[in-house]
Structure 1
Amino acid sequence: MSSQRPAPFEFDVDLSAHEMLRRAHVLDALGPDWDPVAALRGEEEAYELLYSGLDADQQRVHDELVSAGVLPPRGGGHAAP
């Protein structure tokens, strides 16, 4: 019996069509009234509310996390005004 391994076999799968179908389903689930700009504004407002009213120590930790890139900067303008 031979102990030689078979030659490597190249295997490619193109998932482009599946990805387009997945995106179509996502957009369909979001519905015609979905407003991405309003969604981004809402996220920015929620972020501002979440990190408002911090005491000095909490603000220091928040600033360290922003500096380290763990949290995005406040008022970063992620959504259009």
Structure 2
Amino acid sequence: MKTCGLVVFLCGIQQSTQASMHRPATDIMSFEAHILQYRNTTGKIPSEKAGLQALVERPKELGESKTWNKSLNSIHYDPWGNPYQ
């Protein structure tokens, strides 16, 4: 019975790890789409200083003369608890 419990535990870890690895790829594709939308709207990609936060709030460096659209409500964390940058 102990062996069976260990196998179930290890299978659960494997599935959790696979899910953790799938989510970052999905998140990155989503960020890419939002950055392309930002570029199409403003004519450039967000600066390194503005980062992904430029998708949430208007970067000061962009100024008021450029068109800008909020495309995300917030920048979430990766599966390991680190903020995307």
**With CA pairs under 8 Å and 6+ residues apart, which has the higher RCO, 1 or 2?**
1
TM-score, shorter chain, exceeding 0.5: no
Bigger radius of gyration, 1 or 2?
1
Into which bin does the TM-score normalised by the smaller protein fall?
0.3 to 0.5
TM-score (norm 1): 0.33
- Looking at secondary structure, tell me which structure has more helix per residue: 2
